[in-house]
Structure 1
Amino acid sequence: MSRHPLQYVRAGVLDIAFERHGTPGAPPVVLLHGFPYDVRSYDVVATRLADQGADVVVPYLRGFGPTRFANTTTMRSGQQAALAADLLALLGALRLAPAVVAGYDWGGRAATLTAMLHPDRVAGLVSVDGYNVQDIAEGATPIAPEGERRLWYQYYLHGERGREGLARNRAALARLLWSEWSPGWAFTDADFAATAPSFDNPDFVAVVVHSYRHRFGLVPGDPLYQADEDRIAARPRVEVPTITISPLRDGLRDPKTPETHAERFPRLVDDLRLPVGHNPPQEAPEEFAAAVARLRWTVRRR
């Protein structure tokens, strides 16, 4: 599949690399990838949405691909509020009208938090797993053993052995997680090879390790984002039109109930329950694109 040329924009503390599909100035959509994936998750989705008249922006998150920190002294934070701040800065730097934002894993968290904290900048939200917001105050509380087993990679990264292991084996670790989290997805060597270079970003290890330590309260965050973390800690509802996507074959977590989604998203349009794993835009691109398109149409009619 052909790829669009990379573009760059200074947005907050980052020089964000992104691909853009469609016509700038059309109704905007921003698609956000997770860990350990990259923009290739959205190749089909972005094409479908651009063909339907959207201005589609697909950025590399901090620590991934060609995205770089603008200053060598900036803390390489991977905390949730930093991801949301990056998205807000990108929306501003590209002067996008209120956008439909969509994502999964880290990207879904960034999209959800931006919709929560800055609803004036988000026209609508598509979030895989719904309210995937970290409750850091409860991070040290044990969960059921089956859930703890699934989080082995997070506990691995709490120690220096894990940091060194990620640095030495970043692609191998990522491929293992792809297989564990999407047991029904028959991705090819070529699929993985298209994404793997994104893990060679010089800040990848630092950002990832900080993310998985901060969410458990093991290390401090960047003071730049503390005010947002304080707001997030109250766990407010998300007041923008939302479609949640619940993967039914996710090897990392069980799907939430539609009722649970409705409690957090008072303007819930739908909860799509798809027989896929952790990476719905790449495993079920037609359904994912249709969800974003449906939300765009819903927002335009209001």
Structure 2
Amino acid sequence: MSEKIDSRRRGFMSMAALGLAASQLGMFGSAEAQTTLAKPVVPPVKPGSNTSFAALKQIKAGLLDVGYAEAGPADGPPVILLHGWPYDIYSFVDVAPLLAARGYRVIVPYLRGYGSTRFLSADTMRNGQPAALATDIVALMDALKIQQATLAGFDWGARTADIVSVLWPERVKSLVSVSGYLIGSQEAGKMPLPPEAELQWWYQFYFATERGRAGYEKYRHDFAKLIWRLASPKWQFDDATYDRSAAALNNPDHVDITVHNYRWRQGLVAGEAKYDALEQRLAQAPTIGVNTITMEGDANGAPHPPASAYASKFTGKYEHRNITGGIGHNLPQEAPQAFAQAVLDVDRL
């Protein structure tokens, strides 16, 4: 009897040991899986927590003396954040420290016609065509000795980042683009849209007239504030937030660059011949092969295509994110945590 009991006890103990071993292996496997799946998480931040950049710099790059903010370690992986119209680098004032804290070298340049960015020559055409802006960013990367960077932006900035990703994909590690694929052409710009869509572009038609140019020159502060309200109808920004960015519109080239950009899109004015070959490539609506996350706010009042219209344009690893909570056109300033998280995540796609 005792031998049978011992045999049963030994069998039970063996099974228990196997079960314990299996459970331990399962725990180890689970821990390993969790480690594999874990990703850096950007901590919560209240929009507007930051009101300034630690460092503002200038550097000669291509045709420009570029003003830019910089944050994070100089040897960190570079990310270049690109603003739109009529905004400025303060769209990223909360995003930059979030990325710097994760070890990124964050560069936030004023585009041509904004802030402290100036043309090196008075004779250079004040050209706002998309290929010119994209060339500026490549020149900036060269000046900063950045071979490859993550590009992230919205509005004009997203379009610029898209174009660099097509024309110089070797310079782009990954891409975050609000409102997705924004590459167009003069021929496409000449095509009429349904009336409701045309209404959204009212300012483009205003800028097509000399009255519009004069009106923007005279009322640019109030004009841009109206655009902010229309583009982000649920964003309750205060005067201090707006005025901080509106100062960048006092650039002496701002009106010329803005008006030329919108007139060029409609084929009303010429660009520069040196960009013709680039624009011809872009007119073919080429696909973007770098890894990409596109984003859209749920309350974007500016003209923008649905995500379904451009998903096929991204042929690398790709993800689209809808950001809820009344987020408008200026997504990085309205939802800095979500934008910074996308930058972190796109490098892991």
Give the shorter-chain TM-score range.
over 0.9
| Amino acid in the other structure paired with 1:285 | P
Q: Does 1:289 align with 2:340?
A: yes
What is the CA RMSD across the aligned residues, in angstroms? 1.1
Residues 124-170 of structure 1 show CA distances to partners (whole Å, capped at 9, x for unaligned) of 00001111112321212211111111111110000100000011011
Superposition deviation, residue 5 in structure 1: 2.5
2:100 to 34, 46, 50: 50
Alpha-carbon contact 1:27-1:97 (below 8 Å) kept: no
Q: CA deviation at 1:267?
A: 1.4
Distance (whole Å) between structure 2 residues aligned to residue 226 and residue 45 of structure 1: 35
Mind listing any 5+ residue stretches in structure 2 that lack a counterpart?
1-49
Shift in Å, 1:254: 4.4
Aligned to 1:265: 314
Report if the CA contact (8 A) 1:248-1:254 is conserved: no
Q: What's the counterpart of residue 277 of structure 1?
A: 328
Answer yes or no: is 1:183 the counterpart of 2:183.
Answer: no
CA displacement at 1:91 relative to structure 2: 1.0
Choose which of 121, 140, 144 in structure 1 pairs with 2:194: 144
Task: Name the count of aligned residue pairs.
Answer: 297
Moved more, 219-228 or 172-181: 219-228
Distance in 1 between the 2:75 and 2:65 partners?
A: 21
Q: In the alignment, which residue of structure 2 is the partner of 1:90?
A: 140
Would the aligned equivalents of 2:76 and 2:103 in 1 still touch at CA under 8 Å? yes
**Corresponding residue of 1:59:** 109
Per-residue Cα deviation, 1:256-289 (whole angstroms, up to 9, x for no partner): 13x4333100114210111311110001000000
TM-score (norm 1): 0.96
Q: Could you tell me which residue of structure 2 aligns to residue 40 of structure 1?
A: 90
- Partner SS for 2:76: coil
Would the aligned equivalents of 1:124 and 1:240 in 2 still touch at CA under 8 Å? yes
Structure 2: distance between partners of 1:269 and 1:129 = 14
**Which residue in the other structure is 1:227 paired with?**
277
**Does 1:214 find its partner at 2:264?**
yes
Q: 1:14 aligns with which of 53, 64, 80?
A: 64
Larger radius of gyration: 2
Select 1:121's aligned residue among 171, 175, 188.
Answer: 171
Deviation of the 1:179 alpha carbon: 0.2
Q: TM-score, normalising length from structure 2?
A: 0.83
Distance 2:79 2:86 in 1: 22
SS of aligned partner of 1:169? helix
Amino acid at match of 1:212: Y
The CA distance in 2 between the partners of 1:136 and 1:128, in whole Å, is 22
1:296 corresponds to which letter in structure 2?
D
1:106 maps to 156
Q: Secondary structure at the match of 1:86?
A: helix
| % identity of equivalent residues | 44
Q: For residues 267 and 106 of structure 2, what CA distance do their matches in structure 1 show? A: 35
User: Which runs of 5 or more structure 1 residues have no equivalent in the other structure?
Assistant: none
The letter for the 2-side match of 1:267 is: G
3-state SS of the aligned residue for 2:80? strand
Q: Which moved more, 1:14-23 or 1:262-271?
A: 262-271
